Each structure stands twice: as structure tokens, then as C-alpha cells.
Amino acid sequence: MKRAALLIFLFALCAGLSQSINAQITYRYETSLKDLSTDKLAVHLKIGGFSEDTLTYCFPKIIPGIYGAMNFGQYISSFEVFDKKGKKLKTEHPDMNSWKVFDAKRIARVSYLVDDAWEAFDDKMITGFYRSAASSFSDSSFVITPNSLFGYFRGHINHPIEVNIRKGINLYPATSLKKTVKPNQDVFVAENYHQLVDNPILYALPDTTIMNLPGISVEVACYSTSGKHISKDIAEYIRPLLISQAKYLNNKLPVDHYTFLIYHSLAPNRNHLIGDGLEHSNSTLILLYMPLDIETIRQNIYGIASHEFFHTLMPLGLHSEEIENYDYNEPKFSKHLWLYEGMTEYFTMHMPIKTGLRSEKEFYKIVEEKIASMNQFDAKLAITDLSLHPMEMQDQYYNVYLKGALINLCLDLKLRELSDGEYGAKDLVLDLTKHYNGKPFEDDQFFSEMVIVSGFPELKEFTSNYIQGTEVLPLEELLLKAGLKLENGKISELENPSAEQQKLRKDWLSHNP
């Protein structure tokens, strides 16, 4: 017994020492924006303290929020690993996104070059390629998505990270990362690789406006290839949007600080107005291609900013284990894109009318456009199946913003019908968020939990038929309950709606949260 106890003690001691050694591991990255050689940045990583004989250094194949294989390793060249004496260690490059390092206990420094993934944000779109997830370098601006510049050792993703960036004296770094800004060098820190990837950085000449709103501080940082300052005008337009979103969410915002990073590329005319955005926990990166017309820029930013900010609720708040434990190189997808993207898009549609920013006729027009666009996609494909295989179904992916939004419109009306107008989709999301309290849900159990949390057993049939199944959405039936007629893709009000129909429509669309 004493020997067994001693062995247990020694094992615990060794495990504690191993954890202590691993806890001391810190990624310390360095790069210089002043040394843009052949349009590439040189990145150096100082790190050590590994106990493994071999390790694999990886760049993501994909990151949260996008659903196409980006393969960020393709932009890396001249990859080398050295020990403390400067001796090069043996490496292999088994696939596009990874490098195997031998004699890993001796690792002291990693060096490589990074090419940017796009030169200009324009109207040349490529299916499955999301420029808002990739980086761009120029003498006057740098769009830095950390997943493009910085990798991680497999099995060592939760260590703290420090990034040192040397820069031109006039460049300002906008980001939600913790930072120390100096004249020639900035220092950023992240708790782990997940937090680093979650925080893009925009380097440019200062064009920043700070808004201090109730419960939240918002930074709007902009760069325009026109050379003009636009942040003040955009901030003035975003301000009422954020106030309305707070009102819609019962004045309980999910974050207390937020950064909008806006890169505007000057377009020669209005023929092609392109906008791209990628959500993060405390920021959104928005890319725009359009003329320098502030009203046009405002209108395009409105929808993107609203949608991306609502993502702080889901999936950044309410999400499954697949997203909580995200694997950047072999991701397992959740079946709930109908929630992450569909509900977010529905809130983007619904919030303006509930807060008085949009008329009912304007709302009906948006719904009509969603219906018409949805009908161009495969009606026999369940949205849960699309969610599980988004990379293989890129030609169908956009339907999550169409059918996904309309599913949640139907869900909202169904809940309001069942609750005599007192409870809707927004209430369900807020209750689910409170129910899980920051913990991820089990993907296969979510529909059952949704029924329990809502208190309406009827939702089991709804989710089975319209989310997991492929039955035609009951748009006509549910809109009729709100005194609206859907005919030939157009929505009109009934001439003599009943009192019940009028009440349901008022509860659904009246100008209050």
C-alpha cells in the first residue's frame, strides 16, 4: 500500500511538473510592417519548453464564421525552425497547412514569410474565398487577420500569446485585443490562440471615432483608399443602430466594448457595390467596394454591421461544443446554422421594425425578396444537412441567410400564436442563452432543450418538419394568422382582419422590443 501511495504521489508530482512546464510556454511573435519585402512579411516566433520529440506547427484550414476551406498555409514560405544555438532543426511539410518539426524539445525559434491573400478589395469574387478572413498588405494599410500570420503547435493551442509589431510612426492599430501602443512598436496579448484569431487588426493612418453609449464603448476605425476620413460620418450612422439593437435586446448587450474595422476600397462607379464582413466576439471586420459616397457607404454598412453585431448572441454566445472546441484544421460542423446565421439574419430584419426604424411595408418587401431568392435553391435539402456539410455545398450555402431567416420568421409567429403574442423568437434566444449560461450545448440535444426551455411541446413538430425536414415552410398559413395574405410572392394586408389577427400582427411588429 505504501509503495502504491508513493507511486501515486510520484505520478502526481511528475504530472504537476509537466503542467508547470507547459504553463510556462508562451508564444512570442515578432514582425515588422516596415520590412515589406516582395509584398511579404517576415514573422519570427520565440518559444520553447516542449517535452515532445516531434511537434506539428499548423496554420488554419478554416476559421469560425466562414464555411469554405481557405488553407492559410498556402501563403507561407521559407519556413525554418532553430534551436538556442541557431542550428536548424529538421522539418517536413506533409500538407499545405502543417510543418512537422523533429527534435521538438530543442525548439527555440520559428521563422517564415507570409504573403497576403488579396491585393485589393474589388468586385472579383471567388466562391468559398472570404477576403474578410484573410490579410492584405500595402504601404499605407495592413488588414491583419491573425490566422493568416500566426500559427500554433498542435496540442498547444491554449498557451498565452504576445505579438510585437514594429511599424511606421504614423500607423495606428485598431483592434479589440489588449494592446500597448508606442511610436514605433505595438504589443498585443491574447490568452490563447482562439482569442488571437478572434481579433483582427487594422493598421492605417488614424481615422477613428469613439462612441460611449450606455453599457458599451464602441470604436469605429476606418481606412479608405481614397485617402479621405470617413469614420465620423459612419459612427454617426451606427450610433442609432446600436441604440436600437440594445433596445431590441432589452437593454442588455452581450459585450461592453466593440470595434468596427472598416476598409473601404474606392470603386469607379455604382455598378458593383460589394460588402463583406466577418464577425468576432468584440469586433467586426467590414470590407467595402463602392464609390466615395457617404450615404451609399452608410446604407451598405447598416445591414452588415447589424448582422455581425447580432452574432455576439450566436454563435459567439449561444453555440454547440463543435464551435466551443473548434478544430482549425479538421473542423466538425454544427447542424445549427439555421440558428447561427438564420436567426441572426432574422433579427437583422426584425429589429428595425420593432424599434421604429423601418415601416411594415419595408419589412414585407424584405420578406418577399427572401422568399423569391430562397426559391432558387434546392428545396429538398434540409438546412441541418447543409449545416453539417457547408464546404461541400458552397452552391447552396447562401440559403442559410434566406431559408434560415424565413424559418425563424415562422418560428417567431408560431411562438407568438402559442403564447397569445407574449413570447417570440428573441425571447427564446435570450432564455436559451440564460439556460446554458456560457456553456456550449450538445448539438444533437439542442432541439429537445429548445422545446423544454420554451415550454411549448409543439416546437418538436416544427423543428422536425421545417428545420430537420424539408416540408414547405408554412409562411402563407402563419402570415394569415397575422392578418396578412401571401399570394404570388407578394404580401398584402387583409381588408377585414379579425381582432385576433390584428393583435398577433401588433405583438409581432409593433414598435417596441
CATH number (domain holding residue 467) = 1.10.390.10
Q: What secondary structure letter does DSSP report for 161?
A: E
| pTM score of the predicted model | 0.90
For 375, residues 6+ apart whose C-beta sits below 8 A from its C-beta are: none
Q: Considering the domain boundaries, does residue 213 fall inside one?
A: no
Q: What secondary structure letter does DSSP report for 503?
A: H
Type of residue found at 32: S
Q: One digit per residue, pLDDT tens: the chain, 513 residues?
A: 333 333 333 334 444 434 444 458 999 999 999 988 788 999 999 999 999 999 999 999 999 988 889 999 999 999 999 999 999 999 999 999 999 999 999 999 999 999 999 988 988 878 778 999 999 999 899 999 999 999 999 999 999 999 999 998 899 999 999 999 988 999 999 999 999 999 999 999 999 999 998 889 999 999 999 999 999 999 998 999 899 998 999 888 888 999 999 999 999 887 778 999 998 999 999 999 999 988 888 888 888 889 988 998 998 889 999 999 899 999 999 999 999 999 999 999 999 999 998 999 999 999 999 999 999 999 999 999 999 999 899 899 999 999 999 999 999 999 999 999 999 999 999 999 999 999 999 999 999 999 999 999 999 999 999 999 999 999 999 999 999 999 999 999 999 999 999 999 999 998 765
CA pair distance 97, 85, nearest whole angstrom: 27
CA pair distance 395, 470, nearest whole angstrom: 18
Among 428, 331, 427, CA closest to 387: 331
Q: Considering the domain boundaries, does residue 483 fall inside one?
A: yes
Question: How much is the pLDDT for 512?
Answer: 66
Of 204, 225, 255, which one is at a domain's C-terminal end?
204
Q: Considering the domain boundaries, does residue 47 fall inside one?
A: yes
CA pair distance 203, 170, nearest whole angstrom: 10
214: phi then psi, degrees, rounded to nearest 5: -55, 115
Type of residue found at 319: H
Sign of CA dihedral 62, 68, 69, 75: negative
Question: How much is the pLDDT for 20?
Answer: 40
Q: State the cell numbers at 38.
A: 516582395
Q: Which helix (H) or strand (E) holds 328?
A: none
SS3 231: helix
Q: State the cell numbers at 483.
A: 392578418
Pair (317, 451) in one structural domain: yes
Q: Which domain holds residue 135?
A: 25-204
Q: Considering the domain boundaries, does residue 434 fall inside one?
A: yes
Q: Are 283 and 304 in contact, with CB atoms under 8 Å apart? A: no
CA pair distance 459, 247, nearest whole angstrom: 27
Question: How much is the pLDDT for 312?
Answer: 87
Pair (66, 185) in one structural domain: yes
Q: Considering the domain boundaries, does residue 284 fall inside one?
A: no
CA pair distance 284, 278, nearest whole angstrom: 6
Pair (198, 322) in one structural domain: no
Residue 123's CATH number: 2.60.40.3650
Pair (352, 493) in one structural domain: yes
Of 135, 169, 204, which one is at a domain's C-terminal end?
204
Q: Considering the domain boundaries, does residue 291 fall inside one?
A: no
As a whole number of Å, the end-to-end CA separation of the chain is 66
Question: How much is the pLDDT for 2?
Answer: 34
Q: Which helix (H) or strand (E) holds 252?
A: none
Of 204, 221, 254, which one is at a domain's C-terminal end?
204
Q: Which helix (H) or strand (E) holds 491?
A: strand 490-493
Q: Considering the domain boundaries, does residue 100 fall inside one?
A: yes
Question: How much is the pLDDT for 296?
Answer: 86
Which residue has 481614397 as its cell numbers? 226
Structural domain total, the chain = 2
Pair (341, 477) in one structural domain: yes
Pair (320, 183) in one structural domain: no
Question: How much is the pLDDT for 5?
Answer: 37
Question: How much is the pLDDT for 513?
Answer: 54
Q: Considering the domain boundaries, does residue 280 fall inside one?
A: no
